[in-house]
Amino acid sequence: MRNAIINISMSEMKTTKKYWKGLAQLNNDPIVEKLAQNEFIEELPVDEFLGDKKNLSSTSSSRRDFLKFLGFSTAAATLAACETPVVKSIPYLVKPDEIIPGVANYYASTIYDGRDYASVLVKTREGRPIKIENNGTCSNSRIQASVLSLYDSARLKYPLKDSKETDWQTVDLEIKEKLEAVTDGKIALLTSTIISPSTEKLVKDFSKKYKNVEHVMIDSTPYDGILDANMDSFGVRLVPSYSFDKANVIVSFGADFLANWMENEYSTDYVNGRNPKSGKMSKHYQLETNMSLTGANADERIRIKPSEQGYLISSLLDAVNGKSFDENLLNQCTNGKFSKIVKALKANPSKSIIVSNSNDKNVQLLVNAINHTLGNYNSTISISSPSNLKQGNTNKLDNLLSDMKAGNIEAIITYNVNPSYSLAKATEFNDALKNVKLKISTSLYNDETSSLMDYVCPDNHNLESWGDANPKYGNYSLMQPTISPLFNTRQFQESLLVWTDRSDYLTYLKDFWINKGIEWHKSLHDGYFTLNEKKLNIKRFIDQSVLIKSSKSNSETIDLEIYETIALGDGFQANNPWLQELPDPITRACWDNYLTISLSTAEQLGLSNVNVSNGALNGSIVNVTSDNDMELLNVPVMISPGQATDTVGMAIGYGRTKAGKAGNKVGFNAYPFLDAKSVTLTKVDGEHEFASIQLHHTMMGRDIVKETTLNEYIKNPSSGNHRETYETYKGKLPSDQVSLYEEHDLETGHFWNLSIDLTSCIGCGECVVACQAENNIPVVGKEEIRKSRDMHWIRIDRYFSSDMTKELSAKEKKSAIDMFSEMEVPSENPEVVFQPIMCMHCNHAPCETVCPVAATTHSNEGLNQMTYNRCIGTRYCANNCPYKVRRFNWFQYSDNDKFDFNMNDDYGKMVLNPDVVVRSRGVIEKCSMCIQKIQELKLNAKKSGQPIKDTDAQTVCASSCSTNAIVFGDSNNKESEVWRLRNDERAYDLLDHLNIKPSVFFQTKIRNKA
């Protein structure tokens, strides 16, 4: 019709200009005319359904009926919305004495999964474990996260026979029959390092019943070098215990002892030996390949290739022995630090520690010789009270493998290990497994190994088990269940008992310890006990070391260094989404492993990392071939400052195929490269998408982390802690004296403060997981992290130093643009600082003033409160927050199939803390300073009529911190630790010039360097 009108008006106006709607009109196509007459020339198919008389008559609903239905359903829906749902309350029929609904119980227990050990307190609510707390010892992020692994729905729920569900009777009957039938061959028991004395006895009992039992222990990363070296030096195959707190000089060759090397105890000791206040601070040299957590904390970090390590250690032995060594060459490859190390070591006899991560016995023999020469044994290193956490024996494993190949093994039982995944020779193992008649796994999962086995007799989780542990000579701890087994599983020890015609491991365990004169109930209550044991038979030190005369380093090849990440470790908890989403402290990436490479090597090979338009990080992809003919395709490359030139790092623990929905297909499996020394890289087209939560790596000349050196600090305790001043009519004044704000009354009542010591913080991320567990923080997955939509309430910012400084730029007269663009690039071997950032609870909070609905307000105790049910999601507060700590719920993260993690799982939800709400879509959330714990603390004090004890005041980040870097308390209590820290010369407010008066403050970082 409109066409027609246009034509008419055109002709009426009689203009020469004519407009055509299209070529068809210009060409006088008849269709145009037709359309002009009738827009809908195609008949509506009314006849089709009206013509179908039969169908029409069979439906009885008329249009009026339809309207009736519509009206009725609308009314019904409206009414239903107003109706209260009837809520049922079901009390216990017979209430257990110890449970009061709504009150948490704590049980002392032990976590040991074959790799990580900690004595812990388990917080339970209504019989559900919901949080792991430290019990005097130090833990790590994996220990903290293990409570979620308990509720992993990927765990086996019943025993399996040939991958099919069966029951325990069948399994036991058949296994016993088959074990008894073993006559010629051997029964192999392949386990992780066992630190449980009662289990050791059980294994012996088992060996008595069934002859020819061979027990082989393996560690996921082998420590044979150091174990065998000690066998040669002292006649015992043991790992000594190190006292890093007693050492004045620490020289570590690649050993990441603050994170994954040996055990997690060392970080506490290390930080205890570095207390600037007392003036005693160890000097820590780290000579390493990858930028490790330990290297990041070292006073002096020297980049070396793994192939150079042996020669350096050998030369160090010569040097401390006073023999001649090639000082120039060594100083050259250690950036001039070698002579300094030698000098420092000589100046501190018997007060140093030398450690190496090498798995080469000869290298470890040299290390032993140096430690012996320096007199460190029985001073900082104790071989007479060794650690029991690493006892794996690769020789025995190799023998087992050849026996399996030869068909000498008739039955194999695995416990706490996943050899089909974690052995360097996994394929060889899998092939050899075919020769074994009876294959039994006791894994919690139907994992890579279990799926190849005849029988899977699923073990209980630690939190469902009884047990004991002897992590260190003379030190013991007990494990008690804090929940009944969730599934039809059975503890490994119970299985062994059943297979030796007995039962009841608890009685067995109790008898075992009561016979040794242990007070069972007291020990169980405390969780740990000590025992005077007979001395180990340790021989006098015999120097068996052989000097390594030259460096094997070859500048042609790229050396490979395998490492473990802070989050996943050996990868046995790969299906734990908290760990998958815990960003690596150095690269700040999660949900991935990659090849770490230095910038110069990457440039040589044409590899790069780029930030795409939304800021997310992309990296080049390479194919990797190793010197032992292993190949990996499409491996992403992450440029990592501090990586030694011509080396790459690769993390194990990823690339699981049968872990569960969170752990499968994340990254690649680097275990086959465990024995490789060097690799060749070939660039492949395409880019890999990383999920990295920090995209800016330097401080750009600002003093976000204020730091100084030990010497400066001793001269002036407030050195490095400079406050900016403003020009006013009264002269130069610091920001708090030119305030326009009305002050809150913070003197009355409590004033909750948090102090973070940047000298003690090692950046391990344990607080991040602890916070996630306590505060019901959702997991958002890789895609969302890539969009910088991480939900962690506490993050640990990592900054690298840059070669360009403001002073240098002024000297070289660089333009500001040049200066800042150069400042963005971290040094090749940068200094690293870690800074935990959570809501600073500003007392002049910028977020509070911009909220249109007063959803974020200030409390009279100095806290910035966030009220979710009031928030309408404008995100003004997040925009106005100078620390960027506010998190927005972009989606509903619970009960949402798009976020298929623990909050979308009936089992996974059992870990939620009932005292904290689960936030819904469209609201902001942030650190509440564990308000639920503060409220509980105050309430308990009010109920008991006692003032609050300073030590009772804890947030979870503070209580989980193994190095005591985070201290929480009431600053209005003049006896509190936090008050002392508030008034320390090192205390400073982050972004002090804004005068927003945060309740969280930092202590300057102090390095022990010249």
Partner 1 sequence: MMKFFYNNTILQILVIVLISFTNIFSQDVVDSLAVQKGEQIFKTNCVSCHSIGTNSLIGPGLEGVTEKRKKDWLKKWINSSSDFIASGDADAIAIYEEYNKVAMTSFYFEDEDFEALYAYLKNPPIQVKATSADLVLASDEGVANSTKLMFIALFLLCLVYILTSLKNKLKESLDQQTETIPETLLNQFKLFISEHRNVVFVSVACIIVVLKFSYDSMLGIGVYSQYQPEQPIAFSHKVHAGENGVDCNYCHSSARNSKHSGIPSANVCMNCHTYINEGTITGTSEISKIYDAIGFDPDTRTYIEGYDQKPIKWVRIHNLPDLSYFNHSQHVVAGKVECQTCHGPIEEMDVVYQHAELTMGWCIDCHRTSEVAMEGNEYYTELHTQLKEKYKGEKITVDKIGGIECAKCHY
Residue 868 Cβ vs partner 1, minimum distance, rounded to whole Å: 7
Instruction: Give dist(CA 802, CA 822) in Å, integer.
Output: 8
SS3 of residue 232 by DSSP: helix
Question: Closest CB to partner 1 among 8 and 75?
Answer: 75
CB within 8 A of 107, min separation 6: which ones?
121, 122, 124, 480, 482
Instruction: Give dist(CA 35, CA 51) in Å, integer.
Output: 27
259-to-762, 843, 914 alpha-carbon distances in Å: 9, 36, 32
Interface residue with partner 1, options 41, 77, 80, 86 (CB under 8 A): 86
Question: Closest CB to partner 1 among 235 and 914?
Answer: 914
Confirm or reject binding of residue 90 to partner 1 (CB under 8 A): yes
Residue 750 Cβ vs partner 1, minimum distance, rounded to whole Å: 9
Question: Closest CB to partner 1 among 630 and 855?
Answer: 855
Residue 103 Cβ vs partner 1, minimum distance, rounded to whole Å: 5
Instruction: Give dist(CA 534, CA 527) in Å, integer.
Output: 23
- With b meaning 16 or more CB within 10 Å and e meaning fewer, what string describes 947-985? ebebeebbbbbbbbbbbebbbbbbbbbeebbbbebbebe
Confirm or reject binding of residue 103 to partner 1 (CB under 8 A): yes
Interface residue with partner 1, options 106, 487, 868, 876 (CB under 8 A): 868
Confirm or reject binding of residue 872 to partner 1 (CB under 8 A): no
Instruction: Give dist(CA 185, CA 211) in Å, integer.
Output: 10
Q: How many CA atoms lie within 13 A of 642 on its CB side?
A: 26
Q: How many CB atoms lie within 10 A of CB 285?
A: 24
Residue 565: strand pairing partners: 569
SS3 of residue 793 by DSSP: coil
DSSP code per residue over 684-722? EEEEEE-EES----B-TT--SS-EEEHHHHHH-TTTT-P
Q: How many CB atoms lie within 10 A of CB 849?
A: 12
The 471-490 contact track toward partner 1, x by CB under 8 A, reads --------------------
Interface residue with partner 1, options 22, 101, 127, 322 (CB under 8 A): 101
Question: Which range binds partner 1 by CB under 8 A, 601-609, 632-640, 704-712, 941-949?
Answer: 941-949
Interface residue with partner 1, options 105, 664, 788, 859 (CB under 8 A): 859
Instruction: Give dist(CA 484, CA 481) in Å, integer.
Output: 7
By CB under 8 A, the residues from 893 to 932 that bind partner 1 are 915-917, 928, 931-932
Residue 102 Cβ vs partner 1, minimum distance, rounded to whole Å: 4
The tokens for 303 are 């980049």
Instruction: Give dist(CA 924, CA 887) in Å, integer.
Output: 5
Q: How many CA atoms lie within 13 A of 850 on its CB side?
A: 12
The tokens for 914 are 């009932």
Interface residue with partner 1, options 44, 82, 816, 1010 (CB under 8 A): 82
Interface residue with partner 1, options 353, 367, 851, 948 (CB under 8 A): 948
Residue 91 Cβ vs partner 1, minimum distance, rounded to whole Å: 4
Confirm or reject binding of residue 1010 to partner 1 (CB under 8 A): no
Confirm or reject binding of residue 93 to partner 1 (CB under 8 A): yes
Residue 791 Cβ vs partner 1, minimum distance, rounded to whole Å: 16
Question: Do the strands 589-590 and 691-692 form a parallel or antiparallel pair, or are they unpaired?
Answer: antiparallel
Interface residue with partner 1, options 27, 629, 945, 951 (CB under 8 A): 945
Question: Closest CB to partner 1 among 570 and 970?
Answer: 970
Question: Which range binds partner 1 by CB under 8 A, 303-311, 313-321, 934-942, 951-959?
Answer: 934-942
The tokens for 762 are 């090692």
The tokens for 751 are 């004033």
- Of 776, 904, 923, the closest CA to residue 856 belongs to 923
Interface residue with partner 1, options 166, 272, 664, 867 (CB under 8 A): 867
Residue 19 Cβ vs partner 1, minimum distance, rounded to whole Å: 51
Confirm or reject binding of residue 92 to partner 1 (CB under 8 A): yes
The tokens for 464 are 């469902």
Confirm or reject binding of residue 95 to partner 1 (CB under 8 A): yes
Question: Closest CB to partner 1 among 532 and 944?
Answer: 944
By CB under 8 A, the residues from 510 to 539 that bind partner 1 are none
Confirm or reject binding of residue 723 to partner 1 (CB under 8 A): no
Question: Do the strands 249-253 and 283-288 form a parallel or antiparallel pair, or are they unpaired?
Answer: parallel
94-to-59, 99, 103, 109 alpha-carbon distances in Å: 58, 11, 17, 26
Question: Closest CB to partner 1 among 744 and 789?
Answer: 744
Instruction: Give dist(CA 833, CA 707) in Å, integer.
Output: 9
Interface residue with partner 1, options 23, 80, 94, 1010 (CB under 8 A): 94
By CB under 8 A, the residues from 736 to 755 that bind partner 1 are 745, 747-749
Instruction: Give 871's DSSP letter.
Output: -
Question: Which range binds partner 1 by CB under 8 A, 79-87, 198-206, 266-274, 364-372?
Answer: 79-87
Confirm or reject binding of residue 850 to partner 1 (CB under 8 A): no
Confirm or reject binding of residue 946 to partner 1 (CB under 8 A): yes
* Torsion sign across C-alpha atoms 239, 245, 251, 255: positive
600-to-524, 568, 802 alpha-carbon distances in Å: 56, 28, 15
Residue 423 Cβ vs partner 1, minimum distance, rounded to whole Å: 48
Interface residue with partner 1, options 46, 87, 816, 1010 (CB under 8 A): 87
Interface residue with partner 1, options 16, 27, 63, 91 (CB under 8 A): 91
Is 918 buried (19+), middle (13-18) or exposed (0-12) by CB count in 10 A?
A: middle
The tokens for 854 are 């007063």
SS3 of residue 169 by DSSP: helix
The tokens for 962 are 């193994």
Interface residue with partner 1, options 16, 58, 84, 951 (CB under 8 A): 84
Question: Closest CB to partner 1 among 89 and 815?
Answer: 89
Question: Closest CB to partner 1 among 304 and 948?
Answer: 948
Place of tokens 């790229």: 558
Confirm or reject binding of residue 892 to partner 1 (CB under 8 A): no
Q: How many residues bind partner 1 (CB under 8 A)?
A: 49
Interface residue with partner 1, options 54, 88, 540, 730 (CB under 8 A): 88
Instruction: Give dist(CA 742, CA 706) in Å, integer.
Output: 29
Confirm or reject binding of residue 957 to partner 1 (CB under 8 A): no
Residue 157 Cβ vs partner 1, minimum distance, rounded to whole Å: 24
Confirm or reject binding of residue 949 to partner 1 (CB under 8 A): no
Confirm or reject binding of residue 863 to partner 1 (CB under 8 A): yes
User: Are 472 and 419 within 8 A, CB to CB?
Assistant: no
Question: Closest CB to partner 1 among 166 and 857?
Answer: 857
Residue 631 Cβ vs partner 1, minimum distance, rounded to whole Å: 53
Question: Closest CB to partner 1 among 686 and 749?
Answer: 749
Question: Closest CB to partner 1 among 683 and 938?
Answer: 938
Question: Which range binds partner 1 by CB under 8 A, 34-42, 466-474, 864-872, 992-1000?
Answer: 864-872
Residue 96 Cβ vs partner 1, minimum distance, rounded to whole Å: 9
SS3 of residue 751 by DSSP: coil
SS3 of residue 990 by DSSP: coil
Interface residue with partner 1, options 30, 102, 279, 731 (CB under 8 A): 102
Question: Closest CB to partner 1 among 320 and 773?
Answer: 773
CB within 8 A of 915, min separation 6: which ones?
932, 936
Binding site for partner 1 (CB under 8 A): 82, 84, 86-95, 100-103, 745, 747-749, 855, 857, 859-861, 863, 865-870, 915-917, 928, 931-932, 935, 938-939, 941-948
